[in-house]
């Protein structure tokens, strides 16, 4: 990309010839500028992990080897107080639009919708056409735009695919998740894991591993820009969306083996070690108490065989994080080798906290997988993290994916690049920030903005996120006032943050289905309930939430609704429908439904 600026204004200042000659020189200068491709706006790379916990990378207190992300953190800025929703598609919708997930049509993931919700335009599970993506706006502003990885914002019609939502080059897996080694389906909602390239279905290569493939395709896309004369002059926006570390948890054997035995002391020790590391780094207050989830089981009560298996399942998880970091390193190296790194800003985050899931062996076998110890994490193996290690991955926060506790919502955010003030490099920002803020920030970096409520003559939803660029430039410590709120609801679990306070509602399992108030600045682990101590604050936040719910079309869920169980029900229904052509298929589906439901209801929480 060009760096020498031969401007028309410079010609005007230095050339004192006749009007005709001056006009000729000006025209020549303008032509030369166009030929040189002068556009010094930054390249923008957004890297999104899937189900990654708050303390799952080294620069956030992990024992997992993540040198490439840690280097970005050392050269950049870490946010200690960045929130997403607690579920993947709603987060992704907000990231790409700056609009509340309900108003984008993605109030919940499609796999978890109830029949009542599915009638609402806010509950489609796919990105409505009443929103415009940052990719569209950046393309309009002269950027090359590309995406590789998980989409999960609709695929049923071509208009929903990312190739038609502003991305000029796409390689995408459209579902909630997929196998990392093959195109095998990981849930019964789908017959196989689909992949699309520029809108057309493709078959993945024989040596496919999702993290490698996603980075391979990202590099190909960026190289295509360099090779195309009309595109090589433009800055780029690249959205890199990993499957790591969504279930099925799978990792190359060489990465897993590095961690076998590392977790033999169990989840309690891991959680305590990470708590200390997080505090030593200065991410959270030194005196903040740590919450122990009631759903966490006692490690000492496990048999030696169970301890051995759980040590390896966490080793596979660590290996999957490590492998993702390795391939991020390949992308960073490509940017350096191609001369694009110095003008690129990179943002890394996760869509939500860790998935504390357990899947019964029968469910795994029904899908054609195994969870044998010897091959755990490898091809045709179905790994999960489990509730107890899931809690440790969010240490020292409470809760995890699907829940509105900090462990489900608070995740890493690393920002690195030349646009960051030098005084901030290697530092931590304690400013609150929300996933909805990334869209206006990306647009601000590109020198453009959201069009408001009209785009190309049609009405659209206005972006309501905040621009974080003043924080990147060290002109302010925070873009939030004490009166600003962060609110969300998914599957009946809800939260609202205002100032240092947060109200949460978590349903099912060991939760009590009641609103609680916490001071998450002093107590990010949410250990001390304050609603009886500070009733005025509690009442104010509840009133704010009621306004939010009313304005954003929140539909209450049935009393017995639990998101993972609804996913199961919808999956079994899909499996039954797909099997209706064969009597054996019908019988098989009914038997599976009867056998699987009871243990899953018990184990998912």
119: left (phi over 0), alpha (psi -120 to 50) or beta: alpha
User: Is residue 5 annotated as a catalytic residue, yes or no?
Assistant: no
So what's the pLDDT on residue 363? 83
The tens digit of pLDDT for each residue in 165-208 reads 999 999 999 999 999 999 999 988 889 999 999 999 999 999 99
The tens digit of pLDDT for each residue in 250-306 reads 999 999 999 999 999 999 999 999 999 999 999 999 999 988 888 899 999 999 999
Rounded CA separation 43/50 (Å): 23
The tens digit of pLDDT for each residue in 218-238 reads 999 999 999 997 888 899 999
CB atoms within 10 A of CB 22: 14
So what's the pLDDT on residue 579? 58
Pick 443 or 124 by higher pLDDT: 443
So what's the pLDDT on residue 589? 54
Checking if the pLDDT of 430 tops 90, the result is yes
Cis before residue 188, ω within 30 degrees of 0? Answer: no
29-55 average pLDDT score: 76
Pick 240 or 30 by higher pLDDT: 240
The band of 382, judged by pLDDT with boundaries at 50, 70 and 90, is very high
The band of 340, judged by pLDDT with boundaries at 50, 70 and 90, is very high
Whether 435 and 85 have beta carbons less than 8 Å apart is answered as yes
Q: In order of start, what are the domains of the chain with their CATH numbers?
A: 43-472 (3.40.720.10), 485-551 (3.30.1120.10), 563-603 (no CATH)
User: Is residue 403 annotated as a catalytic residue, yes or no?
Assistant: no
Whether 465 and 437 have beta carbons less than 8 Å apart is answered as yes
Whether 377 and 316 have beta carbons less than 8 Å apart is answered as yes
The band of 19, judged by pLDDT with boundaries at 50, 70 and 90, is very low
At 124 the three-state DSSP class reads: coil
Of the candidates 83, 102, 152, 326, the residue annotated as catalytic is 152
Whether 271 and 340 have beta carbons less than 8 Å apart is answered as no
Of the candidates 88, 189, 326, 399, the residue annotated as catalytic is 88
Helix (H) or strand (E) holding 345: strand 344-350
Pick 499 or 27 by higher pLDDT: 499
Pick 605 or 545 by higher pLDDT: 545
Mean pLDDT of the chain: 89
Closest CA to 96 of 135, 122, 59: 135
36-59 average pLDDT score: 92
Whether 417 and 87 have beta carbons less than 8 Å apart is answered as no
Checking if the pLDDT of 555 tops 60, the result is yes
Range of weakest confidence among 9-18, 333-342, 384-393: 9-18
DSSP per residue over 291-339, as a string?
Answer: ---TT---GGGS-HHHHHHHHHHHHHHHHHHHHHHHHHHHHHHHHHHTT
For tokens 């949410």, name the residue: 526
147-168 average pLDDT score: 96
396-400 average pLDDT score: 95
Query: Which of 282-299 are b and which e, b meaning 16 or more Cβ less than 10 Å from the residue's Cβ?
Result: ebbeeebebbebebbbeb
């Amino acid at each position: 990309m060009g760096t020498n600026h031969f401007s028309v204004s410079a010609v005007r200042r230095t050339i004192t010839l006749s009007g005709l000659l001056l006009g000729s020189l000006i025209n020549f200068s303008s032509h030369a500028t166009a030929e040189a491709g002068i556009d010094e706006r930054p390249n923008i790379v957004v890297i999104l992990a899937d189900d990654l916990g708050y303390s799952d990378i080294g620069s956030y207190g992990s024992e997992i080897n993540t040198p490439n992300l840690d280097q970005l953190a050392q050269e950049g800025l870490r946010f200690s107080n960045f929130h997403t929703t607690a579920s993947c598609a709603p987060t992704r919708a907000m990231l790409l639009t700056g609009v509340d997930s309900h108003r984008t049509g993605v109030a919940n993931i499609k796999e978890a919708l109830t029949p009542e919700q599915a009638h609402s335009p806010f509950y489609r599970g796919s990105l409505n056409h009443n929103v415009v993506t940052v990719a569209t706006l950046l393309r309009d502003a002269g950027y090359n735009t590309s995406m590789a990885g998980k989409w999960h914002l609709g695929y049923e019609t071509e208009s929903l695919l990312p190739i038609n939502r502003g991305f000029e080059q796409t390689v995408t897996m459209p579902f909630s998740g997929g196998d990392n080694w093959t195109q095998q389906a990981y849930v019964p909602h789908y017959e196989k894991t689909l992949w699309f390239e520029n809108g057309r279905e493709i078959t993945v290569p024989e040596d496919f591993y999702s993290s490698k493939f996603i980075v391979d395709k990202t590099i190909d896309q960026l190289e295509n820009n360099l090779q195309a004369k009309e595109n090589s002059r433009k800055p780029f926006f690249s959205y890199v969306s990993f499957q790591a570390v969504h279930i099925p948890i799978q990792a190359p054997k060489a990465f897993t083996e590095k961690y076998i035995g590392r977790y033999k002391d169990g989840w309690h020790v891991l959680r305590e070690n990470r708590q200390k590391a997080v505090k030593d780094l200065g991410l959270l207050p030194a005196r903040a108490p740590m919450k122990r989830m009631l759903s966490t089981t006692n490690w000492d009560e496990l048999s030696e065989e169970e301890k051995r298996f759980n040590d390896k399942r966490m080793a596979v998880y660590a290996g999957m994080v490590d492998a993702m970091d390795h391939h991020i390193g390949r992308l960073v190296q490509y940017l350096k080798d191609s001369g694009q790194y110095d003008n690129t800003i990179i943002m890394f985050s996760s869509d939500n906290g860790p998935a504390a899931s357990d899947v019964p062996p029968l469910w795994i076998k029904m899908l054609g997988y195994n969870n044998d110890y010897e091959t755990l994490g490898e091809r045709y193996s179905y790994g999960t993290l489990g509730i107890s290690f899931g809690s440790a991955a969010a240490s020292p926060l409470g809760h995890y994916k699907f829940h509105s506790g900090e462990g489900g919502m608070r995740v890493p955010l690393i920002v690195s690049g030349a646009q960051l003030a030098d005084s901030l490099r290697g530092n931590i920002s304690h400013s609150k920030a929300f996933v909805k803020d990334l869209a206006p920030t990306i647009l601000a970096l590109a020198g453009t903005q959201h069009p408001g409520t009209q785009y190309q003559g049609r009405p659209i939803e206005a972006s309501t996120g905040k621009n974080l660029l003043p924080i990147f430039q060290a002109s302010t410590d925070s873009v939030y006032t004490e009166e600003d709120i962060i609110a969300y609801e998914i599957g009946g679990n809800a939260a609202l943050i205002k100032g240092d306070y947060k109200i949460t509602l978590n349903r099912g399992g060991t939760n009590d289905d009641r609103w609680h108030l916490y001071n998450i600045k002093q107590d990010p682990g949410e250990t001390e309930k304050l609603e009886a101590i500070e009733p005025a604050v509690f009442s104010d936040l509840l009133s704010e939430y009621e306004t939010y719910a009313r304005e954003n079309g929140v539909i209450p869920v049935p009393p017995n609704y639990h998101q993972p169980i609804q996913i199961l029900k919808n999956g079994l229904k899909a499996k039954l429908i797909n099997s209706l052509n064969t009597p054996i298929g019908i019988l098989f589906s009914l038997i599976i439904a009867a056998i699987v439901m009871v243990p899953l209801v018990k184990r998912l929480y």
